[in-house]
Amino acid sequence: MYKVAFVSGASRGIGRAIATSLAKEGYHLGLVCRKNQKMLEDLAEDLRSVYHIEVLTFTGDVGDPSFVKALAEEMLAHFSQIDVLVNNAGISHIGLLTDMSVEEWDQILSVNLSSCFYTAKAFVPAMVQKQSGRIINISSMWGNVGASCEIAYSASKGGIHAFTKALAKELAPSRIAVNAIACGVIDTDMNGFLSVEERTALEAEIPAGRFAQPEEVAEAVLQVIKMPTYLTGQVISMDGGYI
């Protein structure tokens, strides 16, 4: 069966793992990243050759509504449908609220939260027309409880949770499921700033005793996609028991 998925933030980390898992399942893909064009193109070429799927790539800011509108139009013109939308793009900022600039606040809210609105606005009409679809928003445990010195990141992820629940209610009559996965500490470049000592201390705080691998998040995404559409509006915590 012909299946099409879109993944943002796909060049590395969680997004890359999700794209690879979807390719293994036979999905044709639209992939986007903000600046790692070479990395994204190399991934796309690997997925094409190994899994014999079509992959469209885009490089730009998903916090820019005109960019998202244009890429969605290109994808829908090429594939004629969209079955799965994965909003994974995200950036972080660590620092005191008083030291954070307005521009930094706006950028994090734009990339992390507004992008979910832009992609949904662009792709949902095609899902409604087909009366089927899955939207999965990759979020964070800090959207549930907040993290000190990560106020913008926490606010953006909390916004994603409310966005997920509200959109799920709106789209349930069209048999479109909308869910979020609130990730804990994942072993990606975003956590690469941690020293060995800091990483060891953090692992000791996590009941599971370790960071999760991006491939584990990708497996969770596949399982949510395969669930009945009656599972909708949920924020699924995947944090090793941390929160």
pLDDT tens-digit readout, 86-110: 999 999 999 999 999 999 999 999 9
What's this model's pTM, rounded to 2 decimal places?
Answer: 0.96
Assign domain 4-186+215-238 to its CATH superfamily.
NAD(P)-binding Rossmann-like Domain (3.40.50.720)
Range list of H helices, the chain = 13-24, 37-51, 65-79, 102-109, 115-130, 142-145, 151-171, 196-205, 214-226
Look at phi and psi of residue 108 and say left if phi exceeds 0, alpha if psi is from -120 to 50, else beta.
alpha
Give the Cα separation of 131 and 181 in Å (integer): 23
Average pLDDT over residues 149-172: 98
What average pLDDT is seen over the chain?
97
Say if CB 145 and CB 157 are below 8 A apart: no
pLDDT the model gives residue 107? 97
Could you tell me which residues are beta bridge partners of residue 38? none
Average pLDDT over residues 19-25: 98
Q: Which comes out higher in pLDDT, residue 136 or 191? A: 136
Element (H, E) at 172: none
- Band (pLDDT 50/70/90 cuts) for residue 1 is confident
pLDDT the model gives residue 22? 98
pLDDT the model gives residue 60? 98
Q: Where are the domains of the chain?
A: 4-186+215-238
pLDDT tens-digit readout, 41-90: 999 999 999 999 999 999 999 999 999 999 999 999 999 999 999 999 99
Secondary structure (DSSP) of 132-143? -EEEEEEEETHH
Number of other residues whose CB lies within 10 A of the CB of residue 129: 11
pLDDT the model gives residue 61? 97
Give the Cα separation of 71 and 51 in Å (integer): 23
Identify which of 144, 174, 173 has the alpha carbon closest to the alpha carbon of residue 156. 144
- Band (pLDDT 50/70/90 cuts) for residue 190 is confident
pLDDT the model gives residue 195? 87
Residue 153 annotated among the catalytic residues of the structure: yes
Identify which of 179, 185, 188, 192 has the alpha carbon closest to the alpha carbon of residue 220. 179
Of 2, 27, 51, 153, the catalytic one is 153
Q: Tell me which amino acid residue 205 is.
A: E
Identify which of 122, 34, 86, 97 has the alpha carbon closest to the alpha carbon of residue 217. 86
